[in-house]
Amino acid sequence: MSEIAALREMLKKVVDPDVVRPVATARRSQMSYGCSVPLPAGCQRESVRFNGVPSLRIVPENCSAKRAILLFHSGGYSSGSAADHAAMLATLAMSAEAVGYAVDYRLAPEQPFPAALEDAIESYLGLIETGTDPTGVALVGDSAGGGLALALAQEIARRGLPRVGCLYLISPWVDLTLSGRSYELRRRADPVLSREILRHLASIYLGSQEPTDPRASPLFGSHLGMPPILIHVGSDEVLLSDALAVAERTAIAGGEVSLKVWAEMIHIFPWYFAQLSAGREALAQAGAWISERIMAQERPTMPTTGIELRGK
């Protein structure tokens, strides 16, 4: 049995894309898997706060203090934590030779929109207040965390704050109107998500707010002035359209964007790097890309656009 087939079998036991799970169940499931993966050897971890926002700091042995990854976790804005993304962040940080920070932003339904974005903004401001150069910062996020990272980058641009070095988005959820074609076309291929589940998660997060608000759906925000963006997404997930749409709008706005669609891979596949060699390869490639883009800030170049479809 292939790695991805074995993972699909495991997921069948804990999630059904046809069934909306209670928030408490989703939280237990995500915490159980994420926290079962150990940190790589040589990584130190500690709890920190940025302007009151709790975060987890991961320090690999080979890291440069001038490089920082600020990660926002997945979970549909209602589950997930810094702890269940610590191992993935550590693996990425080692590859990028950077210090990693995972943000424990407030979750819905207890703290609905815009609490998550407010915490993202405060965590970023708190990080640069420590003396970290913004050009040495990579914003990273998977699924809802990917949408949050992009919304933060847009807010940074709107406020006229110094631009970060780059963004790495994994299966980003950027359109809470759920308008993409892949919500139907990839429905039977996706073992985790469906339009019904995402509609439920959006309602929990948004409450009475409009899903077209770019602070919640950054696909509808301004893509001008974005830093270089790398997007990884699986071919077998309903959020494929979101990733494609971000790449298109960034390119049209004149930004640098690189998109990789990984054949047979599922939603946030790098999070399953302990089981998937493709996940490990994705994190290694992303780490090298982050390192290159952060160093490139010292020597400005003309923006380029590259869209690559990755298959086997």
Residues serving a catalytic function are: 143, 237, 267
Are 122 and 53 in contact by the 8 Å Cβ rule? The answer is yes
Buried b (16+ CB within 10 A) or exposed e, 124-142: bebbbeeebebbbbbbbbb
Give the distance, in angstroms, between the CA of residue 52 and the centroid of all CA atoms in the same chain: 22
Q: Which amino acid is at 133?
A: D
Q: Which amino acid is at 32?
A: S
Give bridge partners of residue 70 from the DSSP assignment: 101, 139
Neighbours of 66 (CB within 10 A): 16
Rounded Cα–Cα distance for residues 106 and 122 (Å): 12
The secondary structure of 124-167 as a DSSP string is HHHHHHTT--GGGEEEEEETHHHHHHHHHHHHHHHHTPPPPSEE
Three-class SS state of 92: helix
Rounded Cα–Cα distance for residues 178 and 147 (Å): 13
User: Where on the phi/psi map is residue 50: left (φ > 0), alpha (ψ -120 to 50), or beta?
Assistant: beta
Beta strand pairing call for 229-234 and 98-103: unpaired
Q: Which long-range contacts (CB under 8 A, 24 or more apart) does 3-10 make?
A: 3/275, 3/276, 3/277, 3/278, 4/264, 4/265, 4/266, 4/276, 4/278, 6/275, 7/266, 7/272, 7/275, 7/276, 8/191, 8/266, 10/275
E strands, 147-298, are: 166-170, 229-234, 257-262
